[in-house]
Structure 1
């Protein structure tokens, strides 16, 4: 432990407690439907006429007791100005997460989601509309792989990291209680019923393992443990990085770009009062989104009572492209899970040797052609510039 780290020891105790509390709250898992496969089967059986009933897992904690623990932390005694601000904002974010979870399946939930992830501004809505108009609907995709096959590919990807970093943990879980591919606290969770397009396997490995797991493991080797679960508002930059990983490895195809845009459009419809069936039909009829994809987008938007989280993918890559054009280095973003706004703080902690440089470098930076693509983006690019033409069926 460096001298600077020792001086911050009292602050790092609060950091550790904030991390422990958020782990217990587990917002991502507690907003993931447990019955998505059954709900889809029922929806298909009724010819898409009846909105699904989505089940969320019961909370395993008492929100009021968690709040008591949260506000018993003596953040006011942290003397480092940057960390004091960071902890105070993080405490507020966890409190908002608790409120959102308490408000699940009520009309209040959407307001909590807006506080956590932000509204859709006109520029973002315009970009989404432009993408859907500029990119023609794609023909049906080809072969897909099962959850088991994807899990094998994921283990092989973990092995590639372990070849250079033997201590790199590998946790791949195929589960029947998650509806989407996700990384939760460094674990890759795969839905048991997943059918993943074969041409999406490699981009998804770079997205989930090369970005979400790598930044988690880099954060786990820092004294500031919040870098594992994420500094306040980290999600947007993290998903922007993950989408960038897809692009740099040649995997951000037109179908994927249309999905990212359609998510923003769907959120706009939800905020304007549209229900599940209206969102689903609008995506299919007006934007020619494939039926199963339209279902998935609509479910993610209405879950809990209305979620705006999925706007962070398109907003995240948009802001990251702006930052790259301004000369921002990606390296600091690999230290852990942080937002673009945190770069000055993290750089200061690196300079003072409180933090160390990233332990693992994402493999997607070294894929053939990645650096050339990155150089083009640094010269200035918009999200629509990421569209490189149609893909074969």
Structure 2
């Protein structure tokens, strides 16, 4: 391992970039605080009145944060790999600040596009194909409460701690989040949510086995940026999480249709469709249940128009391409990083600036997972992830 003093000012820059992004908390600041109440009002209106989604006030002064950001002497970082990563991360954080300033304006969607990318025609075509190929599913019947899901999550954390005693992660059931999420290593569960019983295990592999595991691995690295993510990491991270669902047999037809519908909904939003038009299209054209259509639509229109949800289908698509080309998953568990960073991360591993991953995701060792992985390595498209079966 390269000694910390050999890294010079790099570790200080790394720590400051991490602290600045933590203070922004992009994920929570783009999550509605009133989604549960808004759904009740929307249902009472017989789905006729678009919801008013409230976002929490920003707890930082954008101009002061920008000043701190550009005061960082990244030019003093001599290591070319770290210099490249730090510059790109600074640019990304600056875009995050602007996007949050632009919430609930027509400018926000442009910031979202800069952060997460648009919907290409091949991605849109893949989404449409999935919706056409996969039969409409019967509504789910068995569900569990947020409390029951939290208990299952605690048991999953215990399974990791049995192997890695220092595996530290928190679980919070909260009323101010609308979707299940991991924020800085903490699993946040919306208190009003009901989870499909057959989705509990896949969600645990998605959220804890991928998002928490890569956070924990990043926390063991000298570079703390690997806990919050190298620039553009989200797409690969969500691709890995969807892969975890597939390898454990949990990427069922309903879930695949949702991932595809998110892409279609984003395309509609970018074409100018509003909430009601997107919601009705999902319900009538794609036969999505009302609550599912609601969830997809609010995630797309939040803050003025978000394209983030395209990263799930795009992420697994790019991961499938990488696997078919002979790529290894190992380095992707070092922390939170994008496929494009693999050469840079491998360079840092080779020079012992970074350590190999500490925690191995449990989902790699679930019965049948390696056989499924071998199948993907032989070449597969996202439509091949649908293995038939419908209810």
> Structure 2 length normalisation: TM-score?
0.99
Q: Distance in 1 between matches of 2:84 and 2:304?
A: 31
After TM superposition, the structure 1 = structure 2 runs for residues 103-142 of structure 1, keeping only pairs within 5 Å, are 103-142=102-141
The aligned residue for residue 206 of structure 1 is 205
Shift of the alpha carbon at 1:4?
4.9
Between the aligned partners of 1:12 and 1:170, the Cα distance in structure 2 is 24
CA shift at 1:10, angstroms?
1.1
Unaligned runs of 5+ in 2: none
Q: Counterparts of 1:34-49 in structure 2 under 5 Å?
A: 34-49=33-48
Cα offset, 1:6, TM superposition: 2.8
Q: 1:246-278 CA distances to partner (integer Å, 9 max, x unpaired)?
A: 000000000000000000000000000000000
The range that moved more, 110-119 or 77-86, is: 77-86
| Cα displacement (A) at 1:391 | 3.5
Partner of 1:345: 344
Tell me, yes or no, if the aligned pair for 1:4 and 1:353 is still in contact at 8 Å: no
Superposed, 1:359-370 pairs within 5 Å as 359-370=358-369
Does the CA contact (< 8 Å) of 2:109 and 2:305 recur in 1? yes
Q: Aligned-pair RMSD on alpha carbons?
A: 0.7
Other-structure match for 1:215: 214
- How many Å separate the matches in 2 of 1:307 and 1:192? 24
1:161 maps to 160
- 2:181 matches 1:182: yes
Structure 2 counterpart SS, 1:3: coil
Summarize deviations over 1:102-144 as a string: whole Å, max 9, x none: 0000000000000000011110000000000000110111200
Aligned-partner SS, 1:310: helix
The answer to whether the 8 A contact 1:34-1:177 is kept is yes
Q: Which moved more, 1:294-303 or 1:162-171?
A: 162-171
Instruction: Tell whether the 8 Å contact from 1:264 to 1:311 is kept in structure 2 after alignment.
Output: yes
Structure 1: stretches of 5+ with no match in the other structure: none
Mapped contact 2:233–2:336 kept (Cα < 8 A): yes
**Which residue of structure 2 aligns with residue 147 of structure 1?**
146
SS of aligned partner of 2:282: helix
Q: CA deviation at 1:170?
A: 2.8
The CA deviation at 1:9 is 3.3
1:172-207 superposed Cα distances (whole Å, 9 cap, x missing partner):
100000000000000000000010000000000000
TM-score, with structure 1 as normaliser: 0.99
User: For residues 223 and 275 of structure 1, what CA distance do their matches in structure 2 show?
Assistant: 45
Query: What SS does structure 1 have at the residue aligned with 2:182?
Result: strand
1:195 and 1:64 map into 2 onto residues whose CA distance is: 40
Q: What is the Cα deviation at residue 218 of structure 1? A: 0.1
Find out whether 1:268 has 2:274 as its counterpart.
no
Moved over 2 A (4+): 2-6
Any residues of structure 2 matched to 1:161-310 within 5 Å, and which?
A: 161-310=160-309
